[in-house]
Amino acid sequence: MGTKQFEVIAHTADIAVEVCGRDLADLLVNAAHALYSVVLSDPPPSGETERIVTIDALDDDALVVDWLNELIYLLDAEHLAFADFDVRRAADGQAVIRCRAHRLGGTGTHRLREVKAATYHMARLRRTPSGYTYRMVFDV
C-alpha cells in the first residue's frame, strides 16, 4: 500500500476524502487522521484522556461514517482530539477502539473549520490488492 494514508479530493461544496488502509482497522485510524487534517491546524498531540469508543453499525460502510461522526461529536461536545488509537475490533459493522485524546486549548492546535458530519454521500468501501479504500464527504 505504500505510505499514503488519505487524500483530500475535489468536491464542489463540501470536502471529499479518499482514505486508504491495509485492513479495516488501519482504514478507521487513517479516516480519523483525515478528519483531523480537515478540521485542525495541526495533528492533535497525544494526551492523558483515554476513551473506549464502541460502534455498532449496519455494515462496514456505515461503520466508517458512524466512527467519524462519533469523533466529530467528541470534538464538538468535549473538545477532544484523538492522536493514538488501539483498534481492538473492526469487523462486520462493529468496532471497539481505545483512543488517547488531547483536549484542545493550550497546545497551539486550533480548529480551522467546523465539520457538521461525515455523510453517506459518495461513501463506498472498496477492497484493493493492498487493502481498502473509502471515499466519503464531510459536510462543512
pLDDT(1) > 70 = no
Q: pLDDT tens digits for 66-122?
A: 999 999 999 999 999 999 999 999 999 999 999 998 888 765 677 888 899 999 887
Is there a contact between 33 and 85 (Cβ–Cβ < 8 Å)? Answer: no
Q: What whole-number distance in Å separates Cα of residue 139 and Cα of residue 20?
A: 20
Which grid cell is 44?
Answer: 492533535
The domains located in the chain, with CATH, are: 6-139 (3.55.10.10)
Q: Look up the pTM and report it.
A: 0.88
What is the reported pLDDT for 7? 72
DSSP 71: H
User: Who contacts 54 (Cβ-Cβ below 8 Å, separation ≥6)?
Assistant: 94, 95, 96, 97
Which grid cell is 120?
Answer: 453517506
- Pick the closest to residue 29 from 57, 67, 62, 55 (CA basis): 67
Cα torsion 139, 130, 44, 67: sign:
positive
Q: pLDDT tens digits for 37-56?
A: 999 988 888 888 999 999 99
Q: What whole-number distance in Å separates Cα of residue 84 and Cα of residue 44?
A: 9
What is the reported pLDDT for 108? 65
